[in-house]
Structure 1
Amino acid sequence: MLPSVAVLLTRNPVTLRPLSAFETAYLQYRDTLALKASNTKQFSHDHFFKKGSILQQKWLALHNSLAHSSPASPSISSKQVEDEFIAAVAAINETVEKFSAKDADVKSLDRKLADPVFLVVKSKSTGKWSLPGSFQQIKQGELLHEAAKRSIEESCGTKMETWAVGKIPIGHVAKSEKDKTFIMKQLILSGQVDLNPSVVSEHAWLTKEEMKEKLGKEDFEAIQDVI
């Protein structure tokens, strides 16, 4: 009995994750220190900022704006810096909220942009959720990476541009000595899933935590170490 091949098709994170409360407070505290330091005559920015860093450029821009202000004009206060920072965080959170509306659509590749998501499909014959290709055997004389490419195209169409991370499997699942499934990793670069209704009935792009619920405990535990 020839083994099977499953494809771990991944979409890497597209955006940075939202800042935690601690990270937000730290950045606010750091900006306040930088402002206070800019008003200290003995301060040497070369000892405080890494040369060429974004933070150094930010400080230099702030320092230059203060140096060219007239004596009568008010200097930038820590309250102003705090207000600007809060406004920036609010704008980021507003953007995150807009994208979160897409998170409910598990068929959309544009969901959970701050997390990696993985493609899972539902077999029409068995009704079980699994990685693409898990229910297709390797053909005689076929290499693993060739079988992985074929299984994706046969189940999810040819409208996706994918990139194989390597030609060797990242792991395998062995239900018995003669029943093995090798897992090949691929990244999606562009395109969308175009299901073959004769092979699969549904698909979903899920995070690792969501896969545990969709695949079931036993099947998830078999592949969780390679996700």
Structure 2
Amino acid sequence: MNAGLRSARRPLGMLLKQHRQQAAAPRAYSSAAPATVTTETPTTPPAPPIQFSQNASTTPTATPSKPTARSAGPYRTTSAVVLSRPPMLTPDLDPFEESFYFYQRRLNQRLALPFTRYFYFKKDTPADLEWKRKQKALGDDVFTGFGKRSWADELLVGDESHKSDDNGFRRLAATTVSGEDATAEGVEGVKKFEMPLGRTSKADMEGDRRSLDRHMTRTLYLLVRKKGRDRYAWKFPQSPLVGFENLKEAAERTLAEAAGVNMNTWFVGNVPIGHSGYRYPKGYTEDGDYMGKKVFYMKARIMAGQADLAENKFGLDDFMWLTKEEVDEVAGRPYFNVVKDMLVNQ
């Protein structure tokens, strides 16, 4: 054994010898221990008895407790549903986009001016007749590159003439006939193309906030109102967790019990998109001994159907589908400040 190993084992042997001496020595508190034993009844309740199954296995099975409303300490844990209807139409163009598309249209028209129309359509063919019909329908909106409107390559500030009649689109659609009847100009019974639907629905014109057919370029959110409450009555559907539910299971149950089962919905993920907490005002006793509430918000989408409060279990009497700005208007600024970052602007 070399000198390095001997020097390494010497401290280890000293530590082992010291440990054996401490283990053999009597402990100072062993004789005083019986004096501290008391015969008082323990303050903690005894554990529930363990019941054994009837089979031959000796594995004990504890009796599960009865499901009750859970809490996080002195706060009641609640799951809320942020149910939304996504936009059904593309968003409206902003002024810059409108100017850009108008300029592109004018540029294409000016590039096509040096060529006669017979370069594109043979004379007196169905395509030529259709082109003449459309030019006549547009009237003064036709860009020729000459005369008073020869300069109109770009929009002037504040000029909204290009918005009239959707740039002549509706007049063009009204004068367009099917291909087999394109040569039957002036003949009764000529089949026209079906006019497209407008971007403003009947619900928008009537102000029906219960309809899902309003604000089709925006995202709508379902808010419900609890009967008998005037202040802060409009909220997202919510209820406390019951039994061994997780947040998603509680949200699914809450939506079914609040707005019925006539909706085809999809929950986006298993984790909340936000949470809030608050304490009850002094003297509030409707929620037992809880001192406040913690609310976790789960995101969901509606695919089809409509809310129905006829058999709800939370005392709700009304619902509305609202945009982000309308949530601020209806629910109030305090509640909106809590949920605004969970809502999209479009």
Deviation string, structure 1 residues 54-105 (Cα, Å, up to 9, x no partner): xxxxxxxxx9x86343489899896279799611278999823444645610
Aligned-residue identity in percent: 28
Larger deviation, residues 27-36 vs 65-74: 65-74
Say whether 1:30 aligns with 2:104: yes
- TM-score if structure 2 supplies the norm length? 0.51
Alpha-carbon separation, structure 1, partners of 2:112 and 2:336: 54
Say whether 1:87 aligns with 2:201: no
The residue matched to 2:84 in structure 1 has which SS?
strand
RMSD: 3.5
Say whether 1:69 aligns with 2:183: no
Which residue, out of 77, 84, 88, partners 1:14?
88
Q: Which residue of 2 aligns with 1:123?
A: 226
Say whether 1:183 aligns with 2:297: yes
Shift of 1:157: 0.3
Shift of 1:20: 3.9
What does 1:95-114 correspond to in 2, within 5 Å?
A: 95-99=198-202, 101-102=204-205, 104-114=207-217
Alpha-carbon separation, structure 2, partners of 1:14 and 1:103: 19
Alpha-carbon separation, structure 2, partners of 1:40 and 1:85: 27
Say whether 1:218 aligns with 2:334: yes
Q: List runs of 5+ in structure 2 lacking aligned partners.
A: 1-70, 136-140, 146-161, 174-194, 280-290
Alpha-carbon separation, structure 1, partners of 2:261 and 2:121: 61
Length, aligned pairs only: 203
The residue matched to 1:95 in structure 2 has which SS?
coil
Alpha-carbon separation, structure 1, partners of 2:339 and 2:113: 56
Q: Please identify the structure whose Cα radius of gyration is greater.
A: 2
Residue identity matched to 2:270: K
Structure with the bigger RCO (C-alpha within 8 Å, sep 6+) is 1
Q: Which residue of 2 aligns with 1:192?
A: 306
Higher helix content, 1 or 2: 1
Alpha-carbon separation, structure 1, partners of 2:203 and 2:228: 33
Q: List runs of 5+ in structure 1 lacking aligned partners.
A: 42-62
